Amino acid sequence: MNERLRNKVALVTGAGAVGPGWGNGKATAVLFAREGAKIFGVDINLSAVEETRSIIQQEGGACTVMKVDVSNPDEVKPMVNQCLKTYGRIDILHNNVGIVVLGGPVETSEETWDRVMAINLKSMFLTCKYTLPHMERQGGGVIINIASVAAIRYTNIPYITYYASKAGILGLTQGIALQYAGKNIRANCVFYLA
């Protein structure tokens, strides 16, 4: 690796993997560390994110982890504060948390709708809300939100909450990108085929 992220701090949500092997958040955290970033990895599953930390530390990288429900504002603000206390800054915010629940508009309950929106979309709003002021004060930063091709087209799978939440991520990211472009803060979505 060429250490493109040397002296950078990356806050990665969903930094554990749901099952065995590699998930998006775990892979991102390890790759960022290989590029020289210090990682503040969070996940609702502490043992999963501790596994990510172990990989990073075995490779000589720096990683601190924390158990966080990023859909809960009472946990997100302390998460941001702890990252700042640990590393002094946040250069990269990588939002990777998301769930899928099958069901079309008729079959989906309001409770399911609210849960998916909270985890997939509200979580990104909250992490951005509490991270952006620090990025602005430090003179810049990068926000990476994980979206999906489901944000822009039907994938022949009936998961209305997933389509809606991923489309919301596009609007959230675009609004942040345009509002903060003049403040040296970039916001982008990464699409994957799911």
- The CATH number of the domain holding residue 59 is 3.40.50.720
Q: What DSSP line would sit under 97-144, residue for residue?
A: ------B-TTT--HHHHHHHHIIIIIHHHHHHHHHHHHHHHHT-EEEE
The CB-side HSE value for 88 (13 A sphere, CA atoms) comes to 3
pTM for the model: 0.94
Instruction: Specify if 147 maps to a domain.
Output: yes
Instruction: Specify if 3 maps to a domain.
Output: no
Is pLDDT above 70 for 73? yes
What is the structure's pLDDT at 21? Answer: 83
What is the structure's pLDDT at 1? Answer: 62
Instruction: Specify if 93 maps to a domain.
Output: yes
Instruction: Specify if 176 maps to a domain.
Output: yes
The residue from 87, 130, 162, 180 that is catalytic is: 162
Q: How many CB atoms lie within 10 A of CB 186?
A: 15
Query: Number of folded domains in the chain?
Result: 1
- List, for residues 16-62, the tens digit of each pLDDT value: 987 788 889 999 999 999 999 999 999 999 999 999 999 999 999 99
Reported as a pLDDT band with limits 50, 70 and 90, residue 15 is very high
Instruction: Specify if 101 maps to a domain.
Output: yes
For residue 170, the enclosing domain spans: 9-190
Instruction: Specify if 4 maps to a domain.
Output: no
Instruction: Specify if 127 maps to a domain.
Output: yes
Rounded CA separation 13/43 (Å): 6
Is pLDDT above 90 for 138? yes
State yes or no: is 163 an active-site residue: no
Phi and psi at residue 54, to the nearest 5°: -60, -45
Instruction: Specify if 142 maps to a domain.
Output: yes
